[in-house]
Structure 1
Amino acid sequence: AFAMPIIFYSFVRSFLEIKEQKVWLYLGIVLYISVFIANVMGYVVKEAYISEGIFYYEIGIAALFAVMGGFLFIGLATFNLIQSYRKKKDSFHQNRLKYFLIGVLIMAAGTSTNFTKLGRYPLDILINTLNAFLIAYVILRYKLLDINIVIRKGSVYFALSAIIASVYLFMIFTFARALQGVVGISVVAILIAIGIALLFQPLRERLQRWVDRLFFRERLDYYQILKKFAQGIVTILDFNELIYSTMSTFSKTMQTDKVAILLINEEGQLYSRASLGLDVYSFRLKKDNPLLTWMREKKEILTKYDIDLLPELKGLGKSEAKELERLKAELFIPLITRDKLIGVITLGEKLSEKGYSEEEQTLLSTAASQASVAFENARLYEELVRSERLRALGEMAGGVAHHFNNLLAVIVGNTQLLSQRIEKMELNEIKRKLKIIEASAFDGAETVKRIQEFSRVKADKRFTRVDLKKIVEDAVEITRSRWKDEAQKKGITITLTTSLDELPPVFGNASELREVITNIIINAIDAMPEGGRIAIKTKKDEDQACILVTDTGPGISEEVKRKIFDPYFTTKGPQSDGLGMSVSHGTITRHEGEIEIHSEEKKGTTITVKLPIPQTEAEKKKKAVIPEGIKKATILVVDDEDTVREALEDMLAAGGHRVISSSSAKEGIELFKKEKVDLVFTDLGMPEIPGWQLAKLIKEIEPRTPVIMITGWGIQVTKEEIKESSVDFFIAKPFREKELLEIMAEAMKLREKGDSK
């Protein structure tokens, strides 16, 4: 009984993570040994007897020291609990400590009965039973102990002990009778013990599986799910697909509707890469945040309750704690690769409101380790793809420069001609010259757009109608400098011919498909260092659109054909990273198409790209109709580029609209407050206040006013960016009158819809 106060003090010290006060534990051990010896010698209880049905006892001098020691350790434990209760501000932790303090009072009440006439009755044991129930409740309610593990292990070892004892006794009894007088009983017992020792581990594992199936079938299911997930993610190289798969698996397995994947950027900040059931797009934690520092050092799972308990995390400021609360996280799971923290996965409360057991945390940690490796592989693959695109961009740079010089020559020549002879020219001739200038300008804009799309690392996953004939023509133009200009410099001739049939449009990503054809043409050029011919043909083959690229190079061997789509495989030597055909194959596969290679050594190669034609595709495109009769409106134009702003003003004024304009966002806000504005055009990149922020301010003043963003960077925005920005429509510079009118019509419909509410 004297050991209980010492054990209780040790438990409190461990629970509160007190590193000091070791001297009291050593003192407790010494006191316990002393009281034990004194009890054996009769100095604790001198005499105990029953007389006339009444229990009598006489205590010795050592009992006084035992009682004083017990009160000392109970007092120390109580003191530490009270101190911790006063320091903790979180109600959850205060409630946990409150139950322990109530338990101390119950224990004191039970012990005090021993100093009264009631001491002859075991009231202290009965009262302390209440304390035991209270502690059991706290363990279950506040998850101080994973009771599932206790049940599992207890069930297994109880069953194992019962089986072993039964088998052991039965075999000894049987063999002892059968071998009586032949072998001694001790020899039989040793042989049986050796046999049982050999069978112990297989038997324990079988019992463990049986208990798991009986009591924890759900746990076995999610173990299988996570195991399958860990095996599958290593083959995923698309970063977005990998993140979605990870979030989906963790959510379904743990039955939680709140998951976030946070990654560390180049500055060391933790930011939200993706989330489920949370609005944490703008989440950020600085590099020196205590939570990140702890995870870098410990590399362990962190629970919501650890944040208040761990001394290392007491440096969290109010703003940082508030930022973490946005995640509504119960678990913080580190993503570690090469001993480096690359991110964190957070899981919210389970739908069942149960906690995450230690076993579940171990399983999640293992799955997160696999995910970390997959994330790192996907990141490296993305970098290699980026370098491949930059290489291809370098290849097309010469062709782009040549193309732009031609366009500029047309524009400059015609503008000079107009400025010198406009008074002598007829109206039709002036219009024709202006049309040539306009066409050349928009041709240049299309070239810029191709470069923007080509150089983007993150491809737009939304497929649109794509004209394959246009794709091939773009790829031919992009590679012109390689097969024409560079070939001539080297003194060789490469002839490129096309035979392009009209094809129904397919659904796909134009920039990705353009990149595939560009890469195939470049490979054909590289395969003919002495010169040759390249023929490109398009045709329809039943329900597929086909692009055939044929060269007169040396051909491809069967061995190379088998490996050509493998990542990093190349026949070009160290100057190539071997990703071109691998990336192309992945792109066409995502488009539900295929790439075929027909080649014989010394006879050239034909690479065929096949893409499915949608069955519902109409044979002819419907002509876009320019909307007419747009309601006359008051329009605010905000752009710091004077020439662009004035041109837009003229176009809008020509449509009968009232236009007010500003060269700065601040001035634009003031005009918006003074005037009754129906529609706002704003540039994206402006000094002081960018277009994103201006759009937000406009919406705060009048949410019904549509905002159209003008950008020279191409329309490369995500859904999250649109949601954050309050922008309704985007239009890329330069824009045609038809595009402008179509967007204005949509914007005015939106305005009328808002006015009707």
Structure 2
Amino acid sequence: MRARPPVAQRYLIGLWSGALLLAAVTVLSLPLAPLSVAQIAAAAAFALLLDIADLLTLHYEADRPVALAQAPIIACVSVLFWPLPLLTIAVGMLATALAHPAPRWRTLTTFAMRIIVTSLLGVIAALTLPAGGTPFTTPLAFGGLVAMGVVAYGAEHLLETLLALFSKPLTAEGTHLLKAVRAGWTGRLGGLGRHMLVVVPLGGLLALLWSLGPWAFMLGLAPALVAYWSFSSRHQLADVSRRLATLSTKATEQDRKLSSLQNLATTLIATRDIRALPHTLCDRLAALLGAPGGWVVLHDDDPNQPEGLLLVARTGRTAAGSDAGATELSQPLPATIARGYDTVLNRRRVVLFTDQHVQSLAPAGDEVLWQSLIVIPLLIEEDQQMTPIGAICLAFDQQRGLAEEEQRLLRSFGRQAALAVQNARLFRQLRESQAELIRSSQLAAVGTFAAGIAHEFNNLLAGMIGYAQLGLSTTNPDEKDESLRVVVDACRRGKSVTGSLLTFARRQQAQRTPADIGEAVTGTLTLMEIELRQNDIKVLRRIEPVPQTVCDVGQLAQVFLNLLTNARDAMKPDGGTLTVELGERGGTITLAVEDTGCGIPDAIRERIFEPFVTTKGALGGSQTPGTGLGLSVSYGIVQEHGGTIEVTSNAGLGTRVAVRLPVVAGATSDRQATLDPPPKLRLLLVDDDDRVRDSLRRLLEQAGHRVSAVSDAASALEQYRQQPFDLVLTDLAMPRTNGLTLVRWLRDHDPDATIFVFTGQALGDQIELAREAGAVCVLHKPFELAEFQQAVAEAWRGERLERSVAA
């Protein structure tokens, strides 16, 4: 009783007091009659019948009690002299309490309610039943029976409703007490109409039969047994219905979980990103099973690292009161207790923990006191046995069970998730191997170009030296200008050659930007030109202008180089004609390479794009052995760009390979042909090479800018601190402190600084880091003054636009 709210306690005390008071009032008010043996025997019989009825009480849905106890109460009030009915209730309740112990407050409450009901029924009986006659034989007496039934059920359920109402807070703020009582009373009386129609007449029948004699009363037990059997059958039917409904709900929920798990498994199998997959797996599975927390541990598959378990994803709460989704870990973390996990994973089944293992397996820094933990092993088949590669852990802040069906579903899902993880790892290894193949091909291309490039540069240098000496020796201004123009043209030619070479030599992540494929084709042909001439191969160029498209121009140059190399090898040693076509029709760029070589044999024509299937050497038709990687790598690159490769070949006549690529929308450059020239600027020039620094300073000063030139980053920072500059132009590769560090220093000192960097290297990662640090433009050495002026004009225009938008 003490666990109930104070208002409920006060209600119970009032109920008990009211019952005693009402009993005393009725005893003093109603007429008393002398006791007899027959009356005492009747009281004993009704008390026994009441005890049996209480012990056989049934409970339907919402814990509504259904019993025959009202029948003997109505009967004893109708045939016994007052106050024997009260004594009968007391004896019957005492016997019930001894035979079926219950909380003391519950027994006293039931007794008080029955005393109140019995007192009310006694008043009705005194007013409607004839004294000493046969009960319920007149219309008034029959009306009294109906009134007894209504009062008996109405009063008892009203008192129970008030107790339930006071034992918990109202469900809606401000709900009127009468409305709450009406709602609770309706709920408790729901479904009991048939019960009232049976029990009330049964009470009248028992009273009528007792007035006829004890043996007649014994016959009245038969209808009572039939009534109880009917109620019991209905109770069993309702119980079966509830169980079926529960099973149906569980089946529906199980079907929902199964469908969700299948959808999740399909999503995981389609996911190839090994970093994103564990986070998706952890977050969605925890949400599906209602787990407040979860994490994923995997065995490290890096052959260079010692084998161990790593925490790769976690979701949900990590501290009391916190709540978060899937947490992106910057890098995998060692699992808390690897041996503990190994022991669990070696069981190779779904395990539920509710003991000390829960916290011991939780990630380090997890402050939530978890109560239950489900560990789902990720198993793959190796050497005809299931090998664990990790586990999914779902944590709960309450005790929970794990049904056999749920365990089976999670075990099946764990195997599918393990396959998804394994596939993602294999895909990552495939991408890494493909990148290494491309890198190897690029390095091989640089080696192929070495002799031709040396010859090309020697020719360029010879021309530059010759015309430079001619310019120095002559006094004719026109001849001097002509010599300088030739030297500048030779420098531009050299820049084009080195630019094409650096396209192949770079080592960086694939980057797709708007680019002109025609420039890549022309540059690659330039690199191969001497090699092709040395093999007596004539080149026919049918190159048309094509629109820019978003692509990785270095990778596509590699594809074109592979095709040129294959064509060259196919025409060795006799030479031949190489035709290169480039054009655009209907939004598709077509690049075709056709040779007059030996062609591809029929035996391998259908497999030429498979790795290590070569068209050269013993299996192919050419004299030059091959690795079988060139076309395979090219096929992968073209597919990643959404294109196709078509090969047409006739043995002994030649081969035509056509690469078709879509023009990606939005790839057109937005650079304006002419921009308003910027005002004369204060420039800070930083370069450790004296000749480069001096020549740039003089050129920029001739263009009207005020230039301060320094040779190192420390001097540049000191100069900038003394007086801000409109623009800083710094080399990227310098001794001691490089340009990247200088960019960061300047940004820390002045977040609005405008910084250009220039470099002669092909370090794509360094250039990207410079952009991230705050460089607004990257110029590649050697660059001309016009390029610099164009870049300055664009940067100046961009800053003005930003300022106007901010204003």
TM exceeding 0.5: yes
Aligned to 1:675: 723
Alpha carbons 1:635, 1:680 under 8 Å: kept: yes
Q: 1:40-91 deviations in whole A, cap 9, x for unaligned?
A: xxxxxxxxxxxxxxxxxxxxxxxxxxxxxxxxxxxxxxxxxxxxxxxxxxxx
1:531 aligns with 2:574: yes
Measured against aligned partners, the alpha-carbon deviations of 1:143-172 in whole angstroms (never above 9, x if no partner) come to xxxxxxxxxxxxxxxxxxxxxxxxxxxxxx
Picking from 485, 492, 517, the partner of 2:560 is: 517
Summarize the Cα distance change of 1:371–1:539 in structure 2 as closer, same or farther, 3 Å threshold.
Answer: closer
Query: In the superposition, relative to structure 1, how do residues 245 and 483 fare at CA in structure 2: closer, same or farther (>3 Å)?
Result: farther
2:688 to 627, 640, 647: 640
| Secondary structure in 1 matching 2:604 | helix
Say whether residues 1:660 and 2:713 are aligned partners.
Answer: no
The residue that corresponds to 1:586 in the other structure is: 636
SS in 2 for 1:559: coil
Compared CA separation, residues 622 and 219, structure 1 to 2 (3 A) = closer
Q: Is the CA contact (8 Å cut-off) linking 1:704 and 1:751 kept in structure 2?
A: no
- Rounded to whole Å, the distance in 1 between the matches of 2:325 and 2:485 is 52
Aligned to 1:94: none
Q: Summarize the Cα distance change of 1:615–1:214 in structure 2 as closer, same or farther, 3 Å threshold.
A: closer
Aligned length: 513
Letter in 1 for 2:259: L
> Partners of 1:473 and 1:434 in 2: how far apart?
26
Give per-residue Cα distances to partners, 1:312-341, cap 9 Å, x unaligned.
998xxxxxx89xxxxxxxx999999999xx
Task: Tell me, yes or no, if the aligned pair for 2:314 and 2:326 is still in contact at 8 Å.
Answer: yes
Helix, strand or coil at the partner of 1:525: helix
What is the CA-CA distance between 1:740 and the residue it aligns to? 0.8
Of the three residues 556, 561, 564, the one matched with 2:605 is: 561
Aligned to 1:221: 260
| Paired AA for residue 497 in structure 1 | V
Task: Name the aligned partner's letter for residue 510 of structure 1.
Answer: V
8 A contact 2:446–2:504 mirrored in 1: yes
CA distance in 1, matches of 2:325, 2:441: 36
User: Would you say the 8 A contact 1:295–1:334 is kept in 2?
Assistant: no
User: Hey, what's the Cα distance between the residues in 2 that align with 1:675 and 1:617?
Assistant: 41
**Is 1:369 the equivalent of 2:369?**
no
* 1:733 and 2:781 are equivalent in the alignment: yes
**Matched residue, 2:532:** 483
Counterpart residue type for residue 688 of structure 1:
R
Q: Whole-Å Cα distance in 2 between the matches of residues 295 and 577 of structure 1?
A: 46
Going from structure 1 to structure 2, the CA distance change for 1:582 and 1:750 (only over 3 Å counts) comes to same
Separation in 2, partners of 1:260, 1:503: 53
Counterpart-to-counterpart distance in 1, 2:382 and 2:453: 42
Matched, 1:684 2:732: yes
- Tell me the C-alpha RMSD between the 2 structures: 5.5
Q: CA deviation at 1:347?
A: 12
Deviation at 1:564, TM superposition (A): 0.9
- Deviation string, structure 1 residues 388-421 (Cα, Å, up to 9, x no partner): 22222221222222211111112222222223x1
SS in 1 for 2:576: strand
Displacement of 1:533:
0.8
1:32-431 → structure 2 map (5 Å cutoff): 214-215=253-254, 217=256, 220-227=259-266, 229-230=268-269, 232=270, 242=273, 246=277, 250=281, 253=284, 359=410, 364-419=417-472, 421-422=473-474, 424-426=475-477, 428-431=478-481
Q: 1:623 to 1:750 in 2, by over 3 A?
A: closer
Given that 1:534 and 1:551 are in contact with CA atoms closer than 8 Å, whether structure 2 keeps it comes out as: yes
Q: State the one-letter code of the partner of 1:513.
A: L
Deviations 1:92-141 (A, max 9, x none): xxxxxxxxxxxxxxxxxxxxxxxxxxxxx999xx9xxxxxxxxxxxxxxx
User: CA separation of 1:547/1:640 partners in 2, compared to 1, >3 Å: closer, same or farther?
Assistant: same
SS at match of 1:607: strand
Q: Which amino acid aligns with 1:371?
A: A
Change beyond 3 A, Cα 1:738–1:369: same
- Aligned match of 1:434: 484
Identity %: 23
Answer whether contact 1:259 1:278 (CA < 8 A) is retained: no
SS at structure 2 position matched to 1:625: coil
Contact 2:546 2:584 in 1 (8 A): no
| Structure 1: distance between partners of 2:578 and 2:253 | 68
Q: Indicate conservation of the 8 Å contact 1:637/1:645, yes or no.
A: yes
Deviation at 1:228, TM superposition (A): 5.5
CA distance in 2, matches of 1:562, 1:646: 60
- Aligned pair partner of 1:473 in 515, 519, 522: 522
Provide, for residues 327-373 of structure 1, a one-character-per-residue CA deviation record: whole Å limited to 9, x for no partner. xxxx999999999xxx99999999xxx9xx99487765553233222
Query: Relative to structure 1, is the Cα distance of residues 457 and 698 closer, same or farther in structure 2, using a 3 angstrom cutoff?
Result: closer
**Length-normalised TM-score, structure 2:** 0.52
Deviation, 1:686, is: 2.1
Aligned to 1:702: 750
User: Which amino acid in structure 2 is aligned with residue 591 of structure 1?
Assistant: H
Instruction: Quote the residue 2:506 is aligned against.
Output: 456
Aligned match of 1:171:
none
C-alpha distance in structure 2 between counterparts of 1:273 and 1:451, whole Å? 41
**In 1, Cα distance between equivalents of 2:679 and 2:394:** 50
C-alpha deviation, 1:715, in angstroms: 7.1
**What's the counterpart of residue 606 of structure 1?**
656
Larger radius of gyration: 2
| Unaligned runs of at least 5 residues, structure 2 | 1-100, 107-245, 288-293, 316-323, 346-352, 367-374, 384-388, 401-405, 619-624
Which has the larger displacement, 643-652 or 396-405?
A: 643-652
* Cα distance change of structure 1 residues 393 and 473 upon mapping to structure 2, 3 Å threshold: same
Match of 2:152 in 1: none
Q: Partners of 1:519 and 1:576 in 2: how far apart? A: 11
TM-score, scaled to structure 1: 0.56
CA contact 2:578–2:595 (8 Å) conserved in 1: yes
Judge conservation of contact 2:685–2:730 (CA < 8 Å) in 1. Answer: yes
The whole-number CA distance in structure 1 between the counterparts of 2:684 and 2:733 is: 17
Give 3-state SS (helix, strand or coil) of 1:681's partner: strand
Cα offsets for 1:538-575 (capped at 9, x unmatched): 26474244333222222223332211112221143595
Distance in 2 of aligned mates of 1:711 and 1:274? 40
| Structure 2 Cα separation of the partners of residues 747 and 592 of structure 1 | 34
Give yes or no for contact 1:711–1:733 (8 Å, CA) kept in 2. yes
SS at match of 2:603: helix
